Structure 1
Amino acid sequence: MNFQPSDRAKKTADAVRAFIKTHIEPIEAEHWEGILAQRHGGDWTQWTIPPRVEELKAKAKAEGLWNLFLPDAELGAGLSVLEYAFSCEETGRSMMAPEIFNCNAPDTGNMEVLWKYGNAEQKAQWLTPLLAGEIRSVFFMTEPDVASSDATNMEATAVVDGDHIVLNGKKWWSSGVGDPRCAIGIFMARTPNPDEGRHGQHSMVLVPMNTPGVEIKRMLPVFGEYDEPHGHGEVHFTNVRVPVGNFIAGPGKGFEIAQGRLGPGRIHHCMRMLGAAEKSLELAIQRGLKRVAFGKPIINLGGNRERIAECRVAIDQARLLTLQAAWKIDTLGVMAALTDVAAIKVVAPNVLQQVVDFAIQIHGGMGVSHDTPLSAFFNQARSLRLADGPDEVHKGMIARLELMKYGVSR
């Protein structure tokens, strides 16, 4: 295994780092202050996109720092999962950066689904404007009325009725649905088929957001924050009718698609979290060296030096594990990397939570304010221990795969 970045990967990551330092870092605090000052709360109908976002996106596109996640040299940067990981980590140091490079969730996952499984018409109608950064998208999976950690519990339905698919159900934690540019959603639901097994009963369906019967009920706050202007919504689908051609890859293919979507997507999440962890540790050390208490820099008080060492070890271990998962996806495929992907999904959010908690403690009251990105990083870390499956589900997967080596099938 060789986790050294290729020349292309290093060059791209260096360019991303330079772009963030030159164009994003100087205005990011002002950007979020402006959004916070509007304080529209959960009223997503009032949310707007600051002009600087589109201006920065245009700059990034002009510099070729665009769609870096897509391993297609014509539509994206043509980087492998491992090669992109290094640039992805750089974007994680900023809450603003992923969108500027058109590398933000859930759009990246949705674009990968359309790129890999969509037909020509679906790609022309939805993938092209997504790749251009003209629209945004949402992924409808989690439901409020069932334990969504088991995706087979899903109650939403996608039933064929002649030339149409009829969608019914409730979804929530639908990230990005409050964004005024959100035009298309991927809806995962049951399409019952007695001839298929447990994992052949679900489908993914493209649903334009202006389709009759699609109703955004509310935005959900995360630790009191509504994540304006993107949001996490509860959305109800009542007899929503879309053409049968809106199935992605056909009915019953939902779980097959999900495996392809979530593998690389989890690499992206984890590398961004490691970027946030690096930024948090950097802020903690800078603060600890500058602030003096009881006659010495606070970095030298208590066990703070030891905690710095623990953070460094944890970040580097998590990075190596994540790069190994990326390497396996590239060389052996997603199915061969199941244990590795599950492992990093447990490790990376917990490492970020550990590191940012230390950084908050070093900053004192400032650490829980909006004066630093630390509270946003903590919000991200704790939330991602639930998103895309809770820690316990991934640990269960790791244990099951490990026990299979000993002939234990259940």
Structure 2
Amino acid sequence: MTTDAVSRTAGSSDDSLLDLARALDAADPLAVHLDAFAEAPGVGAYLDGNSLGRPVRDVPERLASFAREDWGTRLIRSWDEQWMALPMELGDRIGRVALGAAPGQTVVADSTSVLIYKLMRAALAGPATGRTELVIETGNFPTDRFLAEGVAAETGATIRWLEPDPVHGVQVADVAAVVSERTALVSLSHVDYRSGALADMRGITAIVHDAGALMMWDLCHSAGVVPMQLDAWGVDMAVGCTYKYLNGGPGSPAFAYLRSAHQGVLRQPIQGWWSAADIFAMGPEYVPAGDIRQLLSGTPPVTSMLAMQAMLDLLEEATVDAVRDKSLSLTDLAVRASDEVLAPLGVRLLSPRDGAVRGGHVTIGHPDFRAVTQTLWAAGIIPDFRFPDGIRLGLSPLSTSHVETVTGVLAVRDALESHVG
């Protein structure tokens, strides 16, 4: 095929994909929410919402109002008037909007790492006498793996490492093959941070319970984009961040879910004054609260809880089920565009092709993608790179359009051609 013929074919494919994207945007019931997010001058496509969500447009005014009124006028009185209850109230809201969790089981507190440690450590020191094994996968996010190794060292537990398929992630059969009467805790990610593979939360949790063990889920890449039913599916504990699909801003605090049956039974190890039964007693010994407040330690980061509330307003209005529908539409389109314009250049699909078992991002691979990512960022096209050679296309449904998705994929093609040409 001549160079002119290749150019004509590429142009035709580009037009077809963009026409399809425009039609999907025109029919998108959630398109009305696109203008709710702040503009980023010079950014042609933001494809990293699975790592850091865009700010909602009214966040600056929310922050200013907080400084003027709640803090600036009410001063310390705001603790009694609203801030003392905020970690639990905000947790209940996240539970209702995104997790399928009844009130009193979710709290907003520390970082993801600290909350995973608290729950993992509590589970390994729990009442499961003779259960000394912690099951986790070798490809889980580094924090989860590092914490598991640390907790195992503290408690004398043994880690059983799962080695699932790198694209399709942990399957029910993988878990069933390793759990036993020795298993204390299984800790897995709902959505794989690399491939986007979506685990069968309900099926895996059931297998773990059949073995008499506890199940903990990392929800960082699923909360706010994938519907779930933590209560109905019997999940014991879960942790998720709020700066991805919940758009809480860089470093916004994480949330933890602890099933009501375990509250007052499991005991978290960081015994701060905020988790004491009587927080102002200042007594000589620690007596933990018997409810979800037992997962707190120090003074909550109130200011850092503000931005996510704007996103929860949008998510509650849109519903997480509708967000999932659009997520599938966006990621299906990204896969199709990748097949048409990137696969001929040697780009590999590193995510499940079936949307039913894929979360909110699509990962593609090529040996030149580290350099390509730098080129894209310089041009205002922002995906993210994951070692060794993957680009993640993170498509946050309320803030990302179909046209933006195709624009990003075409930009990857152009940047790749400039590197290999």
TM-score of the superposition, structure 2-length normalised? Answer: 0.25
Q: Which has the higher helix share?
A: 1
Which has the larger Rg?
2
- Bigger relative CO (Cα 8 Å, ≥ 6 apart): 2
